[in-house]
Structures are given as structure tokens and as C-alpha cells.
């Protein structure tokens, strides 16, 4: 077989190296920021991105819902051109909305535009109605998970080889090229979700970041017990293939995050969300004061979370500043110290849907 060819039965080696960005976060609590809003005001949108970079946030993320109001890849390209330090990621791009070869091309371009700052977040899609709106068939979840594996093989195969051939169960390429590839030799790959049998096995085998939330749309990690159980499952999958558990960055998403000096002020900001959107995100929304947010994140750190993604409602600069100036410093003061097990009186805003 030609070295640039790969059959669907072959698997990537299990000794995927620890990405330097993952290793650099050891002993730290880092945060990324995203915005849940339509692209109706580019200057305001960009103001949040620039504020996040200036305030020391580690990453900025875009969502892949093209019928919602903007395209994640064109937006990320624009952000890449006007920032210099903050890492940039997709949370998450659906492998069915664009051919994997096209995704490889687009991601490589954003990585080069950003001087090697891309984090590639991939997923199977969480909104079957959006599939319908785009005129795309939404296979059953089990088939979409196989499609995700095909896409990973194709994207990384195109990046590693001058030309690449792959015949999978759902996607294939024949003698395709994505040159020039990304600037990074190893683009960090985030696989979203918390499925303990398949998704977390895929994270252990192919990924660099695991991301989940207290939502049926993002892994069903509703309680601390859920989060702990899923991390234990991830650890078992890593052990099964001989990969260090610490090679995977463990991230938790709040969709959305709304902070204010008082709880009443935070609730007032949350009330501006359209009711259908607020209901959609009800189980994963953090509405809190800075002190409550610190307690919330400390509880997640206690069960193994290392990285937090905060999704803002609109262009909420107040929440960005409160996180950067009050919450993150407090978390990092105790990041290397033992954290006591949470009590029932600790702040935890979520419940099962």
C-alpha cells in the first residue's frame, strides 16, 4: 500500500504525543470565551474578542450553526487576522456540513493566518432541524460517530501527506491534497461530547481535548457525579490504548455564562435572552455573582476539570471582565492546592433536563 493510502480498518497509533499547549496548562486553570449572538454588529463582536485577548483569556471559540447568523470559519478567519496571541477554535464544526477535505483546507488556512493558533473542534452535529434546513440527511447517531472517525482520518491524513487516499464508510478521498497544510505540525483536536462508550473512546484515541456540558446537546454532564463518571470512562479508554490520561485536556462548557456583581443583576441580564433560547440552554447556563462562579468552578476542578469555556449571551463585556479580574485569579490561587470535596450547600446551578 502507498504510504499516503489508508484503509478504513486502520487506526492511528495510540501514542499520539501530548500537545505543547495541553502540557503548558499543567497546574493552571485556563478559560476560553465564545459569543452566542448573530453577526449583527461586527465592531461589538470584535470588541469582545480583543478584550478577551487583552485580559489574558487562553482561547476564543466560534459555533458552527450557519443558519443562526454567521459562519464559524469566515468569522474565525477574520478574528485570526486581527489578533496575535489568543488561540482560536471551533466549538464544534459539524463534519456533515462541509466535506472533510474542505474542512482540512479551511482549518489549515486559519491556522496559517493565525500563525499556528488553531484548535480544531469536531463533532457530529447536535441539531437535526438544522440538518433539514441545510438540506442534509442526518444519519442516526451511531452512523454520525463513524462519519466523525472518517473525517478525522481524512483531515489528519491530508495534513500529513502530499496526497492522500482514504475509503471510509461515509467519506472518501482519492489522491487529494491539502497543501500547504497547517503551520502547526500537530493541530490540537477537540472532540465534543460525553458518550462513555464511543465518544470518549474517540477522544482517547484521536483527541487532545475533551469538552462536555450540562446539556443533552453536549454530553449530558448534568451533575458532578456525571462529570466524574465520564472522566473515569475517559481514563479507562486511555489505559486501554496505552495513552497517558493527562495527554487529554479536560474542558467543561457553560452555555451560557452570565455574571454580575449581584445575583439580581445577573438574572436581569439573563432575562434579555429570547425565551426559546433560554429554555434550550437552561440546564447549562451559569447565572451567578463572581463568588458563586468561583464556587461552581472549584467544584468542577475537584472532580478533574482543567479548562473552562464560557459562552456569552451577546457582547457581554461585564462578564468577560468579572471572569478575568475576579474569578480566574481566585481559581489559580488554589489550582495547585488540594480542593475539598464539595458540600451540598456549594453553589451548583444545574439540574437534569
Taking only the tens place, the pLDDT of each residue in 294-324 is 999 999 999 999 999 999 999 999 999 999 9
Residue linked to cell 472532580 = 303
Query: Is 349 contained in some domain?
Result: no
* Residue 308 belongs to a domain: yes
Q: What is the pLDDT of residue 39?
A: 82
User: Which pLDDT belongs to residue 105?
Assistant: 98
What global pTM score does this model have?
0.92
Q: Which domain holds residue 133?
A: 23-333
Q: Distance between CA atoms of 189 and 203, rounded to whole angstroms?
A: 9
Q: How far apart are CA 58 and CA 77, in angstroms?
A: 18
Instruction: With respect to residue 133, please indicate whether it lies within any of the assigned structural domains.
Output: yes
Please check whether residue 351 lies inside any domain of the structure. Answer: no
Q: Residues 321, 326, 331, 337: is their CA dihedral positive or negative?
A: positive
The pLDDT tens digits of the residues spanning 133-175 come to: 999 999 999 999 999 999 999 999 999 999 999 999 999 999 9
Grid coordinates standing for 257? 455564562
pLDDT at 345 over 80: no
Distance CA 293, CA 305 (A): 15
Is residue 346 scored above 90 in pLDDT? no
Q: Is the peptide bond before 269 cis (omega within 30 degrees of 0)?
A: no
Selection from 143, 95, 86 nearest residue 119 by Cα: 86
The answer to whether residue 55 is domain-embedded is: yes
Task: Count other C-beta atoms under 10 Å from residue 277's C-beta.
Answer: 13
Q: Stretch 271-285: mean pLDDT, rounded?
A: 92
Burial class for 32, CB neighbours closer than 10 Å (0-12, 13-18, 19+) = buried
For residue 351, the model assigns a pLDDT of: 54
What is the average pLDDT score of the chain? 91
**338 within a domain of the structure (yes/no):** no
For residue 289, what are the CA distances in angstroms to 213, 215, 251, 310, 347?
20, 22, 21, 14, 11
Query: DSSP H helical segments within the chain, as ranges?
Result: 20-24, 42-54, 72-82, 100-113, 128-133, 141-160, 199-206, 224-241, 263-270, 275-280, 290-302, 317-322, 328-333
Task: Provide Rg for the chain, Cα atoms.
Answer: 20
Overall number of domains in the chain: 1
274 domain-assigned: yes
The CATH number for 204's domain is 3.20.20.30
Quick one: 228 exposed, middle or buried, by C-beta within 10 A (0-12, 13-18, 19+)?
Answer: middle
d(CA 49, CA 46): 5
Amino acid at each position: 500500500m502507498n504510504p499516503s493510502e489508508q484503509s478504513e480498518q486502520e487506526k492511528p497509533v495510540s501514542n499520539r504525543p501530548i500537545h505543547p499547549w495541553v502540557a503548558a496548562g499543567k497546574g493552571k486553570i485556563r478559560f476560553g470565551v465564545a459569543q452566542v449572538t448573530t453577526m449583527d454588529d461586527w465592531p461589538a463582536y470584535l470588541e469582545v474578542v480583543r478584550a478577551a485577548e487583552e485580559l489574558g483569556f487562553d482561547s476564543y471559540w466560534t459555533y458552527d450553526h450557519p443558519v443562526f447568523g454567521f459562519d464559524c470559519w469566515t468569522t474565525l478567519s477574520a478574528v485570526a487576522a486581527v489578533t496575535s496571541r489568543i488561540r482560536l477554535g471551533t466549538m464544534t464544526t459539524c463534519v456533515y456540513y462541509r466535506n472533510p477535505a474542505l474542512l482540512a483546507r479551511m482549518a489549515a488556512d486559519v491556522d496559517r493566518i493565525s500563525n499556528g493558533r488553531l484548535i480544531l473542534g469536531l463533532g457530529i452535529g447536535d441539531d437535526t432541524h438544522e440538518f433539514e434546513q441545510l438540506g442534509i440527511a442526518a444519519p442516526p447517531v451511531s452512523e454520525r460517530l463513524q462519519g466523525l472517525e472518517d473525517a478525522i482520518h481524512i483531515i489528519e491524513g491530508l495534513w500529513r501527506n502530499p496526497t492522500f487516499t482514504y475509503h471510509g464508510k461515509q467519506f472518501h478521498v482519492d489522491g487529494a491534497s491539502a497543501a500547504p497544510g497547517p503551520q502547526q505540525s500537530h493541530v490540537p483536536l477537540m472532540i465534543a461530547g460525553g458518550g462513555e462508550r464511543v465518544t470518549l473512546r474517540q477522544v482517547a484515541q484521536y483527541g487532545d481535548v475533551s469538552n462536555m456540558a450540562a446539556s443533552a446537546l453536549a454530553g449530558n454532564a448534568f451533575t458532578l457525579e456525571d462529570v466524574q463518571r465520564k472522566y473515569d470512562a475517559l481514563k479507562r479508554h486511555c489505559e486501554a490504548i496505552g495513552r497517558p490520561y493527562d495527554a487529554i485536556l479536560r474542558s467543561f462548557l457553560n452555555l451560557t455564562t452570565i455574571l454580575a456583581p449581584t445575583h439580581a443583576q445577573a438574572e436581569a441580564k439573563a432575562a434579555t435572552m429570547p425565551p426559546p433560547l433560554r429554555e434550550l440552554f437552561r440546564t447549562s447556563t451559569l447565572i451567578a455573582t463572581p463568588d458563586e462562579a468561583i464556587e461552581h468552578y472549584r467544584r468542577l476542578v475537584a472532580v478533574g476539570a482543567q479548562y473552562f469555556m464560557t459562552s456569552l449571551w451577546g457582547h457581554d463585556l461585564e462578564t468577560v471582565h468579572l471572569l478575568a479580574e475576579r474569578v480566574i485569579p481566585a481559581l489559580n490561587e488554589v489550582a495547585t492546592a488540594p480542593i475539598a470535596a464539595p458540600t451540598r450547600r456549594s453553589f451548583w446551578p444545574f439540574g437534569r433536563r
